[in-house]
Structures are given as C-alpha cells and as structure tokens.
Amino acid sequence: MFVQAMIEHIFETTGLTSVFSKVYTNPASFDSSGCLQLSPYHHQDWCSLSQANMCKGHILDEHRRLSGVKYDVVAYVGDGANDFCPTLRLRETDIVFPRRGYSLEKYIAEGRDKVTATVRPWDTGLDIVSALKEVLMGAKA
C-alpha cells in the first residue's frame, strides 16, 4: 500500500485528487529490515504482451466494466512495452499518448494497423494537457 499512498499524497499536494478516481499499482510495503518489497498486482498468464505481475489491458477493461461510467474518450498515457496491450484495447474515440523515443511509440509504429485510437506522441506533460484541451474544447463545441 506504500506506493498507492505515495501516489495519493502526490495527488493531494498538487491538488489533483479530484482528477483521479482510482490508482492501479503493484502493492509495496517495507519489510522488517526497512527494504521496500514490491508485490504483484495480480498473477496473469493470459496476455503474452504483459508481464506476469500486471496486464494493464485487463485492468483497463475491468475498470471500464466495473466503474459504471460510460467514457466518451479514454486518454491513455504510457511509455513502455507493457503499455501496448491496453493501447490495443482503445477505441477510435480514444487517444493514446506514447512518450516520444520510448518503446511504446516503437510498438505502435510497428503495429499501427492494430491501433484504432488517435496517437499523440508527447515529450512533456504540457503536450498531453494541450491535446486534452483540444479534445475537451471540441466536445463542448
């Protein structure tokens, strides 16, 4: 729970608590010698694109199914190869933000015909904010 508590603390101190409804992360705690021990989020063997400790695509699907919210647009930000699975589950109305120069951008380029979401590479958080503003302004027009 340490990692989740740390993330929630960051949200609180930056005023972002109301922006996020749930955090999905590998649980962590300190052992008796003070070392941080990470545990798997879940054990999965169904997704060859993901690590055994976490299938982000499965988590995305579960969140959409269980949240009770109908999302008009899902914005997914990632940089690693483990972010390709959820990218493949995004719809045409969704946006994926692969970090420029990192492996997710490469995976998308290699499998572009499989990705239906709009792809908006980013270098800084300002790139993401700018793109999200465009989407939100377009939705209000």
pLDDT-based confidence at residue 118 (cuts at 50, 70, 90)? very high
Phi then psi dihedrals of residue 110, to 5 deg:
-75, -30
Range of the domain at 128: 40-140
CB 54 within 8 A of CB 42: yes
Sheet strand arrangement including 118-119: 75-78, 95-98, 118-119
pLDDT at 20: 82
4 and 30 together in one domain = yes
> Do residues 109 and 83 touch, judged by C-beta distance below 8 A?
no
35 and 54 inside one domain: no
Digit-coded pLDDT (tens) for 52-87: 999 999 999 999 999 999 999 999 999 999 999 999
Is residue 12 over pLDDT 60? yes
Clarify whether residues 114 and 85 are in a common domain.
yes
Q: Is 76 in contact with 94 (CB distance < 8 Å)?
A: yes
Q: Give me the phi and psi of 123, to 5 degrees please.
A: -110, -40
The number of distinct structural domains making up the chain is 2
* Helix-strand-coil split of the chain, %, nearest 5: 45, 15, 40
Q: Which pLDDT does position 40 carry in this prediction?
A: 93
Decide if pLDDT at 19 tops 90.
no
